Structure 1
Amino acid sequence: GGTYPIQVRCLTAYNGHFLAVLVFKFTKESGESFRILRFVVAIAETQLAKDLGPSAPFQHYQDSLQRPITVHIEDGIPPDSSLKNELEREIPLGTYQYPKHIKDAILQGTNCSDMNDIPAAHSSLLEEPLQTDNYHEKFQLLLYLEEIQMEVDIRRYDMQDVTMVQDRGLLVLDVPGVAENRPSVLRGDHLFAQLSSERDRSPVVQYRGYVHSVELDKVKLGFSPKLLSKFVNNLKFDVTFTFNRLPLQVQHRAAALAMPRGLSSLLFPSASYHQSLFTGPFQPRWFDRKLQANEEQCRAVTHIVTGVSRPAPYLIFGPPGTGKTVTVVEAIKQVWTNFKDARILACAPSNSAADLLCQRLITDIAPRNIYRLIASSRNYKEVPADIRPCCNWDDEQSSYVYPSKEYLKRYRILITTLVTAGRLVSANFPPGFFSHVFIDECGHAVEPESVVAIAGLLTPMDQKTNPNGGQLVLAGDPKQLGPVLTSPLATEHGLGTSLLERLMLHNPLYEKSSKGYNPQFVTKLLWNYR
């Protein structure tokens, strides 16, 4: 009648369901023995499998049989859509929805980072090195994997039995963590809310609520008049979050456009034409006088302005505080000064980095020559006051505007985030219109994100058809924290490597020799100004 607790430890290199039989042999004092058998099950699984596991005990089919749930979507009221959008959309932006069988294969597997959980054809594609022949297909698959993981991850933020309060024609939802982008919620995004009391009913009505503003942890939502008419205080809702797919869509399109637009000489460079844009030596009037004392920065600016790396990109890298942005800004100013027909696109992954480029440029270039194109989801209060004269905010309409392509052509310098550059791609500027593309903080962006600002916007240098253009400049620190991703599988197979880092790791033009780096293609900044 006694009880003996036994602790069993299982060590395995694989995930799965393991059965074992434990045999306990007991011997009496008289020498007679007997055995007791116990069946043991060990389950080794990833955190993803746990998250997707059952939340309630299994019930037999007859007991749990329910009618299929029909969902009706009641659309809400988007934020003021009177924004003036005259920017053309000549190049379509597809939906790029992932194939269902890829998600099914991953979610039915035991390990979200296991190659065995995806079809063999996709596994072999992931294992292949990135090259011109598989560029589109490989990045397409990596972006699919990232989106599938994003869908899984965002479910942790869903809420049940929460209340909202009414603020004029909007409902206000408290979302703890939204101020830290957990989850990320921006103006124009949407979520779904349904009455908690109707959770198990069919049909069920889901109300789509559009985000009008985010203030600290409070999200103001525009729902349909039908929901507002039945709203009372303390009414409980189940809330399901979504994420904005636009960044994924413009990256898919960039990967699809890259090779058809002839970007192999930019993305897989092998040589330079050794052709300078100057007939004689480059003798600049430096805008930043401090820069003259720094040999590496002067050399980088000189090579960028003379264009001797083309069609290969020019790379600027170095630890934090070594003046990468200062060098980029000086190079842009020199290009603007020396080539009156130059058209420059300056980009960065974040609004703050793009704002900084704009702030540094307007110290020497009049704002009338610079246009800072900002996404409509951004709160205008966050835009620095000194760059507001350059940006696409319309005071009369109290909203952002997107002027036509012809209007934007008046400006010699356009500044956007990498994702917002996708709007310029859609507008279909003429081939060769942009002579220079600069990407600062390139190490923080996944490669397809950087390519958004290149594919469809920058035409590679060609001695006959584009002799004065095609200069791509990438600046960043490949040793700093790289792109932030959610999918371990996508990260492992290349999506976590920025364009800057890939070129430095795998392209001979940017390799370090016994004499150091080749200054015709790359400059490492050494002096620390902090």
Structure 2
Amino acid sequence: MVDGSLILDNIILRKEIPKSVYLSVKNMTKYPIKILAIETKSDIEEMKFNPSCPRHLAPSNMTRYTLTARSVNEGIIYFPILFTTQFNNNIQHYSTQLVFHTHDEFFDDLHPVEPYVVGYSKAVLKEYIENIDSGERPDIFPQHTNKVPLKPYRLPIDIEVVLNAGLKPFKGISKSQEIQLANIKNLLNSETKQHSLQANNYTKLLDMLLYIEEHQMYKDIRDYDREDQILKRVGGDLLELEVPGLAEHRPSVIFGDSVFVREHKSSKTLYEGFVHKVKESSVLLKFSKKFMNTVFVKGKKFYVNFSFNRYPLRVEHQAVEFAKMDNIAHLLFPKNIANTPPVQSEITWFNRDIMNNLEQQQAVKSVLKRTAMPAPYLIFGPPGTGKTMTVVECVKQIHKLTKLRVLICTPSNNAANEVTKRLVGIPTTDMFRYIAPSFPYNQIPQEIKKYINYKNGSYYGPTIADFQKYRILVTTVVSAAKLVNGGCAKDHFGYIFIDESGQATETETLIPIARILSNNAKPGTFAGQIVLAGDPRQLGPIIHSTLALEYGFGISMLERLIDTSEPYTKNGSNRYNPNALTKLLKNYRSHSVIIKSSNELFYENELQTCGDNLINAALNWEHLPNPKFPLIFHSVVGIDQREKGSPSFFNIQEVQVVMNYLDQLIGCKMQGITIKEEHIGIISPYKKQVEKLRNSCMKKYYSEKLMIGSVEQVQGQERLIIIISTVRSKSDFLKIDDKFHLGFLNNPKRFNVAITRAKALQIVVGNPNILQHDKYWRSLITYCKDNNAMRGKQFDFNTNESL
């Protein structure tokens, strides 16, 4: 222990102020031991440590040593100590390391109070429950009787059991489980795991990957089980449950979800409470009258189980089933698409900027002519190239020039709201934005509220007849299932657009296709043109199961088609077939220095810098090492830490550097622009680092307009200035990142999103000794070194390029 604490990597120093630290050593054995020697590194000038040896320690006894530390610089000091001990005639060596942090009082409260404790993975076990007492569901809106009933699609028990066993034979395995195990292994028997999905195994493999994903989701939700939880009455029959990780979606709980409580862990009666309101760190639940009258007592402690919403999984399974029934798999693996140029007609553009963008014009004209049909048409939109602008122009032209109906879907509500915002001006009689009642009304942009299913203070549920009144319908991919189960008329839609389709799984993408564009009366055909718009080189869908990821479940339909389907590859002239795919090339966002790395690493160096004069705003900024190069790599050798209650990492030294840059930036002038919080964004791959940065900015009273978020939160956004905190400083934690797809290392898509958000200035804060072992980061660091754009601690490249 150090000064009575078990945390040895958190010793705080003040610059140039000596501090005495007491190191306690306790004999935890049942036998006396002798400390023969204590050795340390002799070249650490900041430390004075002269321990006296030998010392005898009886069982359970403790001895104490004093060392004095004095640091003249801010940063980290590592102080390794080696103990040589003797027990009987046996000599043993024990080592530990003290870590000293030098900074001012401002950053003291960022340190962990208690150390992080690693949890253990749990098997998915279906407990024997005698009774479930259900509470009162929130009054969402009247549910219409589905013309096409949605099946439960439950995870089969045999699949669950063999997945619990790690896909290996086990003692007591039943015959049906043996068959299921062989079936799974046969489906997963592929030399090219990432691209194992084919037309001939399409529905079987997708169903299995969905089951594998659901199995992992059950395991993950078990991590949030809690004992000794107190429910507080907050008015009427509502009870409040504190959920500390709610803001981080740990767990994810939304309006209408179920939370189960029981009187003790082994109780066979579950009481189901429904979520009536989600607050920042708690939820309001409504239980049955029986629970309130006979079980609930003020101050009583309960065992709590969280659940997750199975509706998305069910509608994905449904889409796979209808894809099989309608025989459409082969259409999603096209062999050829005609390359004859369509007859072109003059178009009056709604967005006049498209007049100067040949690629956007090509995409719109090809979509209008439905040149790829029945295959999907792809709009490949790298960062800042106007992908959504192109989709919006397509929709406006279809609305003007044809009588065809359009369904626009996105993976998220926010993306759907953004598309709707850009379509404002279309009559409310022609366009409708359907929003599920779990989405908070106060987060809906004011200008689109006239298009949504909300009136008289609450959401309402449209009938299928309501949906079919409109020529343009906007919804999420999951909510598109409302059309399927409502019994959408055959051949109703002439177009299905899926924007940000790179963020949707194959099964999510199927939801607005199967039984909407297809039907079993005309198997093997599509009634309209599918348009997939997105960027397969940026973040894909969020997948929980590493096994499902291994077999390509994290690959979107867009990415699969671009990377593996012949009609979407370049021809001998290094051009794409314009009838199948358009790649947008004009980048309107970033300075050429900022976009260069991404352009070379991900986009074949085809992007063209076309931004306005704002992209030059940071040139000649006084803190740029190279005044003509608006990019900085700031080298920091910090320490990445975790704390009790969260597996996420943070790095206090990087927080310090980021705060220093904010002090330099906010209020300064860049070519006539006074830099304010809304001009700046801060990105980190770890939620805990985001939390620490937000807390530090709140202490400085910075405006909430300062964007601070994870990579997932900032995809699709941009700021004049972006600061990136990479966090990682220990190579021994990188296997955790690799396993759970965290951080930046070995994650090129996350890297690409982070480095393409800035317009005029990008500052990267990180440890080059770690980052250089990833080829993408090494390329960026080399680029900065070659252009004299480095700040912070000096370092040299390691000739060994792999960890």
TM-score of Structure 1 vs Structure 2, range by shorter chain: 0.7 to 0.9
Give the Cα–Cα distance (whole angstroms) in 1 for the partners of residues 432 and 306 of structure 2.
34
Which residue in the other structure is 1:401 paired with? 460
Task: State whether residues 350 and 417 of structure 1, in contact with CA within 8 Å, keep that contact through their aligned partners in structure 2.
Answer: yes
Which residue in the other structure is 1:31 paired with? none
Task: State whether residues 109 and 117 of structure 1, in contact with CA within 8 Å, keep that contact through their aligned partners in structure 2.
Answer: no
Cα shift at 1:300: 0.5
**1:270-293 residue CA offsets vs partner (Å, 9 max, x unmatched):** 2346799x9x53211100001110
Give the Cα–Cα distance (whole angstroms) in 2 for the partners of residues 145 and 135 of structure 1.
15
Which residue in the other structure is 2:157 paired with? 100
Which residue in the other structure is 2:276 paired with? 212
Map 1:77-476 → 2, pairs under 5 A = 77-81=136-140, 83-86=141-144, 89-109=146-166, 119-128=181-190, 129-168=196-235, 169-196=237-264, 199-200=265-266, 204-230=268-294, 231-264=296-329, 266-272=331-337, 281-340=344-403, 342-363=404-425, 365-395=426-456, 398-459=457-518, 469-476=527-534
Give the Cα–Cα distance (whole angstroms) in 2 for the partners of residues 512 and 319 of structure 1.
17
* AA of the residue aligned to 2:189: E
Cα shift at 1:227: 2.1
**1:417-454 residue CA offsets vs partner (Å, 9 max, x unmatched):** 00000111111222211110000000001000010010
Cα shift at 1:72: 2.3
* AA of the residue aligned to 2:507: P
Task: State whether residues 122 and 222 of structure 2, in contact with CA within 8 Å, keep that contact through their aligned partners in structure 1.
Answer: no
Which residue in the other structure is 2:122 paired with? 52
Number of equivalences: 458
Cα shift at 1:369: 0.9
**1:320-372 residue CA offsets vs partner (Å, 9 max, x unmatched):** 211111101100111111102x0100000000000111111114x12221111
Give the Cα–Cα distance (whole angstroms) in 2 for the partners of residues 414 and 191 of structure 1.
33
* AA of the residue aligned to 2:539: L
**Secondary structure in structure 1 of the residue aligned to 2:188:** helix
Give the Cα–Cα distance (whole angstroms) in 2 for the partners of residues 148 and 406 of structure 1.
37
Range with greater deviation from structure 2 (122-131 or 499-508): 122-131
* AA of the residue aligned to 1:350: S
Matched, 1:517 2:576: yes
Give the Cα–Cα distance (whole angstroms) in 2 for the partners of residues 163 and 3 of structure 1.
55
Task: State whether residues 432 and 466 of structure 1, in contact with CA within 8 Å, keep that contact through their aligned partners in structure 2.
Answer: no
What's the TM-score, normalizing by structure 1?
0.81
1:139/1:69 Cα in 2 relative to 1: closer, same or farther (>3 Å)? closer
Task: State whether residues 385 and 585 of structure 2, in contact with CA within 8 Å, keep that contact through their aligned partners in structure 1.
Answer: yes
Task: State whether residues 84 and 403 of structure 1, in contact with CA within 8 Å, keep that contact through their aligned partners in structure 2.
Answer: no
**Secondary structure in structure 2 of the residue aligned to 1:132:** coil
Task: State whether residues 364 and 390 of structure 2, in contact with CA within 8 Å, keep that contact through their aligned partners in structure 1.
Answer: yes
**Secondary structure in structure 1 of the residue aligned to 2:552:** helix
Cα shift at 1:265: 5.1
Cα shift at 1:3: 5.3
Give the Cα–Cα distance (whole angstroms) in 2 for the partners of residues 120 and 69 of structure 1.
28
**Secondary structure in structure 1 of the residue aligned to 2:586:** coil
Give the Cα–Cα distance (whole angstroms) in 1 for the partners of residues 340 and 131 of structure 2.
63
Give the Cα–Cα distance (whole angstroms) in 1 for the partners of residues 441 and 285 of structure 2.
18
Range with greater deviation from structure 2 (371-380 or 257-266): 257-266
Give the Cα–Cα distance (whole angstroms) in 1 for the partners of residues 547 and 179 of structure 2.
10
Please report the RMSD computed on the Cα atoms of aligned residues, expressed in angstroms.
2.8
2:537 pairs with 466, 479, 485, which one?
479
Give the Cα–Cα distance (whole angstroms) in 2 for the partners of residues 151 and 242 of structure 1.
8
1:255/1:235 Cα in 2 relative to 1: closer, same or farther (>3 Å)? same
* AA of the residue aligned to 1:95: P
1:492 pairs with 550, 563, 572, which one?
550
Task: State whether residues 108 and 117 of structure 1, in contact with CA within 8 Å, keep that contact through their aligned partners in structure 2.
Answer: no
Which residue in the other structure is 2:769 paired with? none
Give the Cα–Cα distance (whole angstroms) in 2 for the partners of residues 480 and 89 of structure 1.
37
Cα shift at 1:266: 3.4
Give the Cα–Cα distance (whole angstroms) in 1 for the partners of residues 206 and 311 of structure 2.
16
Give the Cα–Cα distance (whole angstroms) in 2 for the partners of residues 217 and 330 of structure 1.
41
User: What stretches of structure 1 of length at least 5 have no aligned partner?
Assistant: 8-46, 54-67
Task: State whether residues 187 and 377 of structure 1, in contact with CA within 8 Å, keep that contact through their aligned partners in structure 2.
Answer: yes
Task: State whether residues 344 and 365 of structure 2, in contact with CA within 8 Å, keep that contact through their aligned partners in structure 1.
Answer: no
Cα shift at 1:510: 0.3
1:118/1:478 Cα in 2 relative to 1: closer, same or farther (>3 Å)? farther
1:510/1:69 Cα in 2 relative to 1: closer, same or farther (>3 Å)? closer
Give the Cα–Cα distance (whole angstroms) in 2 for the partners of residues 69 and 93 of structure 1.
26
1:3/1:195 Cα in 2 relative to 1: closer, same or farther (>3 Å)? farther
**1:172-210 residue CA offsets vs partner (Å, 9 max, x unmatched):** 0010111221111011110101124xx445xx4321000
Which residue in the other structure is 1:4 paired with? 90
Task: State whether residues 105 and 117 of structure 1, in contact with CA within 8 Å, keep that contact through their aligned partners in structure 2.
Answer: no
What's the TM-score, normalizing by structure 2?
0.54
Give the Cα–Cα distance (whole angstroms) in 2 for the partners of residues 72 and 263 of structure 1.
43
1:5/1:184 Cα in 2 relative to 1: closer, same or farther (>3 Å)? farther
**Secondary structure in structure 1 of the residue aligned to 2:394:** helix
1:525/1:3 Cα in 2 relative to 1: closer, same or farther (>3 Å)? farther
1:296/1:366 Cα in 2 relative to 1: closer, same or farther (>3 Å)? same
Task: State whether residues 110 and 117 of structure 1, in contact with CA within 8 Å, keep that contact through their aligned partners in structure 2.
Answer: no
Give the Cα–Cα distance (whole angstroms) in 1 for the partners of residues 452 and 221 of structure 2.
33
Give the Cα–Cα distance (whole angstroms) in 1 for the partners of residues 557 and 166 of structure 2.
31
* AA of the residue aligned to 1:100: I
User: What stretches of structure 2 of length at least 5 have no aligned partner?
Assistant: 1-86, 94-117, 169-177, 191-195, 590-803
Task: State whether residues 339 and 578 of structure 2, in contact with CA within 8 Å, keep that contact through their aligned partners in structure 1.
Answer: no
Give the Cα–Cα distance (whole angstroms) in 1 for the partners of residues 157 and 305 of structure 2.
21
**Secondary structure in structure 2 of the residue aligned to 1:374:** coil
Give the Cα–Cα distance (whole angstroms) in 2 for the partners of residues 70 and 263 of structure 1.
41
Give the Cα–Cα distance (whole angstroms) in 2 for the partners of residues 249 and 344 of structure 1.
25
Task: State whether residues 273 and 310 of structure 1, in contact with CA within 8 Å, keep that contact through their aligned partners in structure 2.
Answer: no
Task: State whether residues 336 and 566 of structure 2, in contact with CA within 8 Å, keep that contact through their aligned partners in structure 1.
Answer: no
Matched, 1:75 2:145: no
* AA of the residue aligned to 1:488: T
Cα shift at 1:117: 13
Give the Cα–Cα distance (whole angstroms) in 1 for the partners of residues 569 and 269 of structure 2.
59
Task: State whether residues 89 and 426 of structure 1, in contact with CA within 8 Å, keep that contact through their aligned partners in structure 2.
Answer: yes
